[in-house]
Amino acid sequence: MNLGDILGSDNILPDLQATNRWEAIDELIDNLVATNKIKPENRDAIAAVVKKRETSMSTGIGFGIGIPHASTDLIYEVVGAFGRSKRGVNFDALDNQPVNLVMLFLVPQGQFQKHLHTLANIAKLLHKKEFRQALEEAPNAEAMYKIIKEYGGK
């Protein structure tokens, strides 16, 4: 499953307001509620699952990237939201650097292989310097989405 399969331009936030990883997770989950990817009544339970996973080990993997993720039985398909922070988010990343690109995704409970495969694809894509630079320089969500679709198929 590729990044372009998970995201629509309405799930891309080109100007995250968050200053830390918890706020970033909340902001991205709020986007999933606003775009009807998760039910409003499941918002807090899903946020708790993602934050519990994040507490066990930061998903700030270096290079300005954060990939918070979790499995939950409250969704039926892989969903995600992508945020960009121009000033950087304190994510307790492995390299102790602020995170500028945050990709939150959720996988239905019990789909372990799909979860790993999705995580690997996203991490591999975000490790490409030219991809990260293109996203950081894109003027808006539509341009970011176009970049994701273009690179996501490679």
- What does the pLDDT look like over 24-47, one tens digit per residue? 999 999 999 999 999 999 999 999
Residue 153: pLDDT above 70? Answer: no
CATH topology of domain 3-152: Mannitol-specific EII; Chain A (3.40.930)
Sequence-distant (6+) residues with CB within 8 A of 36 are none
User: Is the confidence at residue 19, as pLDDT, over 70?
Assistant: yes
Q: Note whether 45 and 9 are within 8 A (CB).
A: no
Domain extent listing, the chain:
3-152
Name the token pair of 72: 């939950």
What is the pLDDT averaged over residues 16-31? Answer: 97
Q: How far is CA 89 from CA 1, 44, 103, 145, 146, in A?
A: 27, 22, 13, 21, 24
Residue 127 is a catalytic residue: no
Query: What is the mean predicted confidence (pLDDT) over 64-92?
Result: 95
Average pLDDT of 92-117? 93
Label residue 4 by pLDDT band (50, 70, 90): confident
Q: What is the pLDDT of residue 15?
A: 97
If phi > 0 it is left, if psi is from -120 to 50 it is alpha, else beta; for residue 146 that is alpha
* Residue of 69, 115, 117, 127 marked active site: 69
| DSSP three-state, residue 62 | strand
* Bridge partners, 65 (sequence order): 62, 101
Are 81 and 7 a contacting pair, CB within 8 Å? yes
